[in-house]
Amino acid sequence: MSKKLYVGNLPYSASEEQLREMFGQAGEVSEVTIITDRETGRSKGFGFVEMADEEGAQEAIRRFNGMTMDRRPLTVNEARPREDRPGGGSRDRRDNRGGDSGGRRRF
């Protein structure tokens, strides 16, 4: 059964192909995803690697957790299940600021 791993503290220059090649040294890689910002498309500095089996996943954690990539120590561990966010996740960011003055100063 496949196992999803969290990979944190990635250099912003890291590519999915680099991760696939690196984690492939520990076992068969099923999927690689680097999380990017919706607006800019730039990496957020973390991602997920899905290993084909438990043995490969444990080997990847052993080999790569703490390993330095472009002078950044990686964090590699089992990914936790995604938590449901209250409110459905499609809320406008302005909702959290309170009232909106519409750009006018009010006295």
The pLDDT value given to residue 86? 75
The pLDDT value given to residue 102? 54
pTM score of the predicted model: 0.77
Confidence of residue 105 (pLDDT cuts 50, 70, 90): low
Q: What is the pLDDT of residues 61-80, one digit of tens each?
A: 999 999 999 999 999 999 99
Residue with tokens 């890291």: 14
pLDDT at 90 over 70: no
The pLDDT value given to residue 67? 98
Domain covering 3-79: architecture: 2-Layer Sandwich (3.30)
pLDDT at 89 over 70: no
Q: What is the pLDDT of residues 35-49, one digit of tens each?
A: 999 999 999 999 999
Among candidates 64, 72, 86, 63, which has minimal Cα distance to 43?
A: 72
State the Rg of the chain over Cα.
Answer: 19
Q: End-to-end CA distance of the chain, in Å? A: 63
> DSSP for the chain?
--EEEEEES--TT--HHHHHHHHTTTS-EEEEEEEE-TTT--EEEEEEEEESSHHHHHHHHHHHTT-EETTEE-EEEEPPPPPPPGGGG---GGGGG----TT----
pLDDT at 87 over 60: yes
